[in-house]
Structure 1
Amino acid sequence: MSTAEHVRRERPGPIRTMLVDDHALLREGMRSLLEREESISVVGEANTVEEALEGVGVCAPDVVVVDLKLTAGADYEGLRLISELSRLHPSIATLVLTTFLDDELVVRAVRSGAKGYVVKDIDTTELVRAIKSVSRGDSAFDPRSAAVVLRAVTGQGNPETLTERERQVLRLLADGSANKKIGETLYISPSTVKFHIRNIIRKMGVSKRTEAVYLASKRGLI
């Protein structure tokens, strides 16, 4: 860390914050909300990775709030920005603010260098708290993304531990079959079906059967 970067993080005054989102109206709304807080000063905006990388050298932010989706394409360019900021400006804290809550994206963002991950339905108070946390060098996650990180750290939610019978139940769930139909298809009782579903949910680290089906489909298990 350079002396200039160290001074920037330690100096008193509002937290210098940069907003990176490809929707101008969202940036304007966010700026309006954040600037009501005396502890935060929005010093720059950008809508692309290139604009953001150029802008940090001009506005010297303490925190960069990044959306993961910065183009209409399929790539999550926000991840590239986080990696570049982590490499070029390690004293700048990055906070993901996005509509996407996907286990893989949360883990990739953290591994890229993000200090926090929150979704866009968060209220202003929680967003301000998250910005303050990452500016101090702490992490900041909303309850859902925190659960993802916990599963990744503890090794929970590993679908590789599913038995063949549990995979069969998952496939039938994905087809929209009710418990009774699953039991009839697999020649097992409804109570046994419920037992397998509880095990699937526990092993995959989710809270509902629909989430288990979604995660299984994402990982090519069904």
Structure 2
Amino acid sequence: MTSTGTRPLLVTLVDDYDVVLMGLAHLFDPYRDRIVVAEIDANAVLDDTIDIVLYDSFAQPESDHHEIAELVANPKATHVVVYTWNFQPELVATALEQGVHGYLSKTLPAGELVLALERVAAGDIVVSEPRGRAPSTPGLDWPGKVEGITDRESEILALITQGKSNADVATLTYLSPNTVKSYIRSVYRKIGAESRTQAVLWGVANGFSPDHHRIDHWLGGP
């Protein structure tokens, strides 16, 4: 029995990148008796009353606080959960102060993620235990994955594609400038770029710019 008692949880997924949302939506495919993705939503108001809005923070840390606050204030969003790999204490604290009901790690296996969402729907405040920097759970997707770009490298390339400087990226991702430079060098090798301009052009052409699309009623959801 799910936390609603009689039906699967209705979940909306929020992010600015289609490929990220699609991967996350498919992660729930084996659990459709417990989780139904009702909307895939990027920068649009909710149409349905939703049990949980799952906010994926990929490459949009600058806008997180504003968007999370809007979701928490939305009467159609019963619960709001942040889904991330960034567990800096101040980020977790700020999200909880804004009223989110969960702060969940992308390292959670799909089954554990579903259980965590059911706990949230039952009224618990759920915060994942930080596990250090580990790969995202299998099944998730992100721009550049097929080229061998890791999820963290993908986030950094997306921020560069948005025009952020190395200093901006370091601040937004809570990484040291040297770590950011190391990630950037690794990305350059994987995409064959020799300059930042080439990397940005490659990013624009390969899904690293926000999509701002919306899909209602994912796979027959209500």
Tell me which interval the TM-score lies in, with the shorter structure as reference length.
0.5 to 0.7
Letter in 1 for 2:106: K
In 1: Cα distance, 2:129 partner to 2:85 partner: 15
Distance in 2 (alpha carbons) for counterparts of 1:70 and 1:84: 18
Specify which of 96, 109, 119 is matched with residue 110 of structure 1: 96
Count residues in correspondence. Answer: 131
**1:77-96 residue pairs with structure 2 within 5 A?**
77-89=63-75, 92-96=78-82
Match of 1:42 among 37, 46, 49: 37
For 1:123, the equivalent position in structure 2 comes to 109
Identical columns (%): 26
* Aligned counterparts, 1:45-64, within 5 A: 45-48=40-43, 51=44, 54=45, 56=46, 58-64=47-53
More helix by share: 1
Match of 2:208 in 1: none
State the secondary structure of the residue aligned to 2:54. strand
Against the structure 1 CA distance between its residues 26 and 137, is the aligned structure 2 distance closer, same or farther, given a 3 Å change threshold? same
- Whole-Å separation in 1 of the counterparts to 2:98 and 2:81: 11
- Relative to the length of structure 1, the TM-score reads 0.52
1:139 is matched with: 125
Q: Who is 1:23 aligned against? A: 17
Query: Which structure: larger Rg?
Result: 1
Do the aligned partners of 1:62 and 1:91 also contact (CA within 8 Å) in 2? yes
Structure 1 unaligned spans of 5+: 1-8, 146-213, 216-222
Structure with larger RCO (C-alpha < 8 A, sep 6+): 2
Superposed displacement of residue 21, structure 1: 1.6
Please list every run of 5 or more consecutive structure 2 residues that lacks an aligned counterpart in the other structure.
132-173, 176-222
> 1:27-57, CA deviations, whole angstroms, 9 ceiling, x for partnerless residues?
1111112131111100001223xx1xx1x2x
Alpha-carbon distance change, 111 to 89 in structure 1, aligned in 2, over 3 angstroms? same
